[in-house]
């Protein structure tokens, strides 16, 4: 019987699962992760807001003065905004753990003065 | 003494991954009549699609179902491309074929796991899930995501398949083929699997035709219906493959059909990788889609996937109709369940690979 | 144009033209593998039964309902070995309904129920038209896929429904 | 003189409550459950319990604690008194036979000439009680589970008793301790009666309602079967019963067929532990190997193969001795 051989041989092998809190799964290099803004490059063209399929991006103000508000809870991680950005202000980060227990942390505000500040 | 009891199965049941309700009229442990009720995870996708632009709808249809997301997006994108009357680059079509077949492998391993669970075979469940992770890893390497790949776009694919990934893909495919062979051996030699699946959930070829079953369900009844060979979309006209059929008409044949499709899909992927043409992967497309209506069909892992698209010449579609394979197989499933033992119900339901999220697409959103 | 792949769709189209001569319906080839037929409400069932009798018929795919101005268009998709044949039938808005095809194709039961749920098109002689997708407490005469029923209108209708309870 | 009596009674009480009595048995059964879970996980290529305690060894204990702190619901339509009483009875019926198992030395805590009969009696009470528990909870799923349980009992009970009785024919005694003693001087019984050993293991698996015989619980079919309505403290007691039963089954196999805590001339608890681990390994392995039977298939198999084979074993034993 094939299954007996398989079961016994697996008993001696190391498990394939991860011991989660101690070992974490590594995302691959070009994985499509959470979009992150380099706000100094942004010129407020509104393209990413228009292309976003789930209205996860909000633009406040105009042009170089504008602020980006990014709602992580709405984001599909499709990467359309990254593709469309004319100034390469958006890039994706490789990070699997993007969920937080607090709702506030699921929203990121990129303003010109204090960069990458998470609002409360 | 004849007494009929009505036993509900679902919407919440540990064997069902998704909510669906079957009402069985049971007489002495045997099912006399089945009625089915959907609507527990209806999300309004068809209605919502009418309010969004063609490009945004790709990501919407991808989220009809997590497992066959690529089949849905391919089907939708093909319909839009037909309306636009553009020729998709050959390389893009090859990449679509490769990803679609990988999705099939992924789905069949997942299905094997769930069927094993329905039979109470926990070990096979764990092994099958373990092996599925290999194909997910490749998909992540290629597309950047594990489940909803976001790869299709109107006029091609968004990411190229780099040359340097090929060795890893080949080695993983060899492993997956080896495992599929092992599972087939296991299923053919294990007396308990045979006891639980042979002559269970019979669907005669004649009934299968009448009830318009699709995909592996009808192929297990000995009919070689396969949209890939009928429609020859993407790159299937350039790659030869066999359509797997078995004549058992029972759950056991459905297991064998799906396990046999794994090496077949691996063969298609290898073939496509060897013959990859060197063209661009995407062509520019206008935002507005010309007037017209079209039907697009794709062979999803579970069977035929049909999208009807009507455009009125604006940025948004007039109507998008989606018919997923599970809805087609549900009537056949009710037929299979008639006369079945209560203990066999989970195995039979698992046998058609139900994806309820696919079967229903609308609910009222507040 | 889409790449033409050499499959004899014209042969099937000719055969069907021959078959449906007496039934006064238009047959046209959209492209390879796609044939459309416009049928009248009176004749569409005969058209379907003749098509099902055809030797290369494989299986019945689905029924699509589309709202066209004041009418509904029902499209019956039938898969053949060479092509997908879509039969179009027009139904009035305040319709008397159209006959069921479950006697021809038992597999169409769920599709007809879905259309009945979503568009409120009457299907006559159907064995069981209980709601398939909509909830049990869904308000009567709210047909979510009709164009008139926008999101806000549905929301309003459902609210008044809740008040009544 | 009085002091001596006092000391003796204190020692007896300690034995009863601490080692190898009440508390020890409960914690030992936790250990056995952990071992079983860990082994099944290993067979399935996973880690198993990991977080509570070193290597997750305290996980079964933590599970029970969690269940004890949960809300305890009695369904309205359930018959209250039997519904509340059955988990307690199940627990005591599973714990009592363990006192008759020799653990430290060749003689158990409680021994009398016919203790094997009492052990078998208490063991067969457990499915009956479970059936009552299923019946009084009046849930549709638990009713079906209870019926399956009763059917299953008809299947495995007879071959189990036959398989447990065949060692007594060879050793000419009904006392477990005596059987262990007999094996010290002779071969282990599983070498003499291999068929009986195999049947005992299969039937004990059915008794424990483990895969491939977990039809009464069958999560994918019956949502947990006969214990579907139990929650909180009652479920904790039932889970405890299950691990005690597993310990009992492994101990019975060890004592009747593998020579108990003795090896050649020495007898020590460590030997007993090692043998128990071997037994749990066998149980875990069988759990990993099979899919679930259907109840009718099991009944047919039990009456067609198990009972004739058990009778054959008894006949062979009779002739050989």
**Residue C152, in any domain of the structure:** no
State the pLDDT at residue B289.
Answer: 83
Closest approach of A96 to chain D, Cα-based (Å)? 22
Shortest CA distance from B304: residue in chain C: C61
Residue C86's beta-bridge partner residues? C36, C77
Q: Give backbone dihedrals phi and psi of A76, rounded to 5 degrees, phi first.
A: -95, -10
Does chain A touch chain B (at least 3 C-beta pairs within 8 Å)?
yes
Shortest CA distance from B189: residue in chain A: A1
Closest approach of B214 to chain A, Cα-based (Å)? 31
**pLDDT beyond 60 at A116:** no
Check A13 against D45: CB less than 8 A apart.
yes
Nearest Cα to B185, choosing from B124, B135, B119? Answer: B124
DSSP per position, C15-55: HHHHHTGGG--EEEEEETTEEEEEE-TTTHHHHHHHHHHST
**pLDDT beyond 70 at B360:** no
pLDDT, one tens digit per residue, over B291-303 is 888 888 888 888 8
**Residue C72, in any domain of the structure:** yes
**Residue C64, in any domain of the structure:** yes
State the pLDDT at residue A115.
Answer: 46
Cα B107 from Cα B245, distance rounded (Å) = 18
Q: What would the mean pLDDT of B323-351 be, rounded to a whole number?
A: 84
**Residue C138, in any domain of the structure:** no
Closest approach of B187 to chain A, Cα-based (Å)? 10
Write out the H or E segment, with its range, that includes residue B296. Answer: strand B292-300
Nearest Cα to B260, choosing from B245, B238, B281, B282? Answer: B245
**Helix, strand, coil percent content, chain D, rounded in steps of 5:** 75, 0, 25
pTM value is 0.88
Closest approach of D291 to chain A, Cα-based (Å)? 11
The answer to whether residue D321 neighbours chain A at the CB level (below 8 Å) is no
State the pLDDT at residue B365.
Answer: 39
The answer to whether residue B232 neighbours chain A at the CB level (below 8 Å) is no
pLDDT, one tens digit per residue, over D121-175 is 888 888 888 888 888 888 777 888 888 888 888 888 889 888 888 888 888 888 8
State the pLDDT at residue B362.
Answer: 46
Nearest Cα to B99, choosing from B36, B52, B153? Answer: B153
Q: State the best of B16, B25, B123, B127 to mutate against chain D, taking most chain D CBs within 10 Å.
A: B123
* Domain B46-331, second-level architecture: Orthogonal Bundle (1.10)
Q: What would the mean pLDDT of D294-299 be, rounded to a whole number?
A: 85
Does chain B touch chain D (at least 3 C-beta pairs within 8 Å)?
yes
**pLDDT beyond 60 at B341:** yes
The answer to whether residue B111 neighbours chain D at the CB level (below 8 Å) is no
From residue C132, give the alpha-carbon distance in Å to each of B47, B302, C105, C135, D9. 17, 21, 19, 8, 73
**pLDDT beyond 80 at B176:** yes
Check B47 against C64: CB less than 8 A apart.
no
Hey, where are the domains in chain B?
Answer: 46-331
| Lowest-confidence region among B215-229, B252-266, D218-232 | D218-232
Shortest CA distance from D295: residue in chain B: B343
From residue A96, give the alpha-carbon distance in Å to each of A102, B144, B155, C149. 17, 12, 30, 40
Contact indicator for B323, B223 with CB cutoff of 8 Å: no
Specify the CATH number of the domain A27-110: 3.30.70.3270
State the pLDDT at residue C1.
Answer: 34
pLDDT, one tens digit per residue, over B211-252 is 888 888 888 888 888 888 888 888 888 888 888 888 888 888
**Residue C4, in any domain of the structure:** no
Contact indicator for B77, B152 with CB cutoff of 8 Å: yes
> Which residues in B lie closer than 8 A to residue A1 (C-beta atoms)?
189-190
Q: What does the block give as tokens for B312?
A: 């009125």
Check B120 against D214: CB less than 8 A apart.
yes
The answer to whether residue A95 neighbours chain B at the CB level (below 8 Å) is no
**Which pLDDT band, with edges at 50, 70 and 90, does A18 fall under?**
confident
Shortest CA distance from B228: residue in chain C: C81
**pLDDT beyond 80 at A117:** no
Q: What would the mean pLDDT of A58-81 be, rounded to a whole number?
A: 82
Find the domain containing C82 and state its range: 9-98
| Number of domains chain C is built from | 1
Write the CATH number for C27.
3.30.460.80
Check B182 against A7: CB less than 8 A apart.
no
**Residue C160, in any domain of the structure:** no
């Amino acid at each position: 019987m094939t299954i007996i051989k398989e079961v016994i041989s697996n008993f001696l092998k190391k498990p394939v699962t991860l011991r989660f809190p101690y070992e974490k799964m590594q995302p691959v290099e070009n994985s499509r992760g959470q979009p992150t803004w380099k706000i100094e490059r942004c010129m407020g063209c509104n393209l990413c807001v228009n292309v976003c399929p789930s209205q996860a991006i909000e633009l406040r103000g105009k042009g170089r003065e504008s602020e980006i508000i990014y709602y992580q809870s709405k984001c599909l991680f499709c990467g359309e905004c990254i593709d469309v950005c004319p100034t390469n202000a958006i890039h994706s980060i490789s990070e699997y753990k993007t969920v937080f227990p607090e709702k506030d942390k699921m929203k990121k505000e990129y303003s010109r003065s204090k960069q990458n500040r998470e609002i409360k | 003494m004849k007494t009929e009891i009505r036993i509900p199965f679902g919407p919440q049941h540990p064997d069902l991954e998704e909510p669906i309700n079957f009402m069985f009229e049971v007489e002495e442990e045997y099912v006399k009549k089945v009625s089915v009720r959907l609507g527990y995870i209806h999300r309004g996708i068809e209605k919502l699609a009418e309010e969004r632009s063609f490009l945004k709808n790709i990501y919407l249809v991808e989220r009809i179902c997590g497992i066959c997301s690529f089949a849905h997006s391919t089907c939708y994108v093909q319909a839009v491309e037909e309306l636009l009357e553009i020729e998709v680059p050959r390389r893009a079509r090859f990449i679509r074929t490769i990803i679609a077949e990988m999705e099939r492998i992924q789905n069949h391993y997942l299905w094997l796991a769930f069927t094993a669970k329905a039979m109470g075979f926990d070990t096979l469940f764990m092994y099958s899930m373990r092996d599925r992770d290999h194909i997910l890893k490749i998909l992540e390497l290629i597309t950047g995501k594990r489940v909803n790949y976001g790869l299709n776009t109107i006029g091609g694919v968004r990411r190229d398949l780099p040359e340097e990934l090929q060795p890893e893909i080949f080695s993983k495919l060899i492993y997956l083929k080896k495992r599929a062979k092992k599972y087939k051996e296991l299923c053919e030699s294990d007396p308990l699997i045979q006891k639980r699946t042979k002559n269970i959930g019979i669907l005669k070829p004649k009934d299968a035709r009448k009830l318009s079953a699709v995909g592996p369900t009808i192929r297990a009844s000995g009919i070689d219906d396969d949209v890939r060979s009928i429609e020859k979309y993407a790159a299937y006209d350039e790659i030869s493959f066999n359509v797997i059929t078995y004549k058992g008409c029972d759950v056991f044949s459905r297991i064998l059909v799906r396990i046999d499709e794994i090496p077949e899909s691996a063969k298609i992927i290898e073939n496509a990788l060897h013959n990859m043409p060197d063209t661009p992967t995407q062509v520019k497309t206008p935002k507005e889609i010309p007037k017209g209506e079209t039907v697009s069909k794709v062979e999803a892992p579970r069977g035929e996937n049909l999208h009807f698209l009507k455009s009125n010449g604006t940025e948004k579609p007039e109507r998008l109709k989606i018919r997923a394979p599970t809805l087609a197989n549900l009537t056949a499933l009710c037929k299979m369940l008639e006369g079945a033992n209560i203990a066999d119900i989970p195995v039979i339901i698992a046998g058609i690979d139900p994806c309820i999220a696919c079967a229903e697409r609308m609910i009222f959103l507040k | 144009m889409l790449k033409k792949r050499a499959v004899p769709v014209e042969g099937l189209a000719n055969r069907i033209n021959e078959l449906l001569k007496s039934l006064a319906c238009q047959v046209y080839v959209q492209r390879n593998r796609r044939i459309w037929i416009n049928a009248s409400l009176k004749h569409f069932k005969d058209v379907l039964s003749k098509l099902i009798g055809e030797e290369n018929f494989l299986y019945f795919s689905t029924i699509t309902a589309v709202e066209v101005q004041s009418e509904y268009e029902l499209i019956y998709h039938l898969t053949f070995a060479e092509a997908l044949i879509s039969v179009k039938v027009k139904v009035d808005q305040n319709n008397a309904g159209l006959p069921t095809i479950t006697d021809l194709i038992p597999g169409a039961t769920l599709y007809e129920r879905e259309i009945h749920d979503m568009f409120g098109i009457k299907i006559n002689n159907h064995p069981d038209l209980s709601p398939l997708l909509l909830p049990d407490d869904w308000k009567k005469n709210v047909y979510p896929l009709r164009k008139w029923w926008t999101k806000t209108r549905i929301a309003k209708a459902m609210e008044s429904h809740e008040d009544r309870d | 003189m009085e002091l001596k009596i006092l000391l003796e009674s204190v020692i007896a009480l300690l034995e009863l409550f601490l080692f190898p009595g009440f508390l020890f048995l409960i914690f030992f059964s936790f250990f056995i459950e952990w071992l079983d879970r860990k082994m099944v996980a290993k067979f399935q290529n996973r880690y198993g319990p990991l977080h509570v305690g070193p290597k997750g060894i305290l996980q079964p204990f933590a599970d029970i604690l969690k269940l004890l702190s949960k809300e305890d619901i009695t369904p309205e339509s359930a018959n209250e008194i039997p519904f509340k009483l059955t988990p307690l009875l199940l627990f005591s019926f599973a714990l009592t036979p363990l006192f008759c198992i020799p653990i430290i030395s060749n003689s158990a805590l409680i021994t009398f000439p016919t203790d094997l009969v009492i052990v078998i009696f208490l063991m067969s009470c457990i499915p009956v009680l479970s059936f009552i528990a299923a019946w009084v909870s009046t849930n549709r799923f638990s009713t079906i589970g209870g019926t399956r349980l009763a059917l299953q009992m008809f299947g495995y009970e007879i071959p189990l008793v036959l398989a447990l009785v065949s060692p007594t024919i060879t050793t000419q005694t009904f006392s477990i301790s005596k059987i262990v003693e007999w094996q010290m001087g002779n071969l282990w019984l599983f070498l003499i009666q291999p068929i009986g050993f195999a049947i005992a293991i299969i039937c004990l698996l059915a008794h424990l309602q483990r895969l491939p015989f977990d039809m009464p619980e069958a999560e994918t079919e019956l949502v947990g079967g006969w214990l579907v309505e139990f929650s909180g403290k009652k479920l904790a007691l039932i889970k405890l019963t299950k691990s005690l039963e597993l310990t009992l089954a492994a101990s019975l196999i060890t004592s009747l067929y593998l020579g108990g805590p003795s090896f050649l001339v020495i007898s020590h608890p460590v030997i007993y532990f090692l043998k128990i681990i071997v037994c749990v390994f066998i149980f875990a392995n069988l759990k990993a190997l099979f899919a679930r039977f259907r109840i009718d298939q099991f009944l047919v198999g039990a009456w067609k193969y198990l009972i004739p084979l058990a009778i054959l074993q008894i006949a062979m034993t009779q002739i050989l001795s």
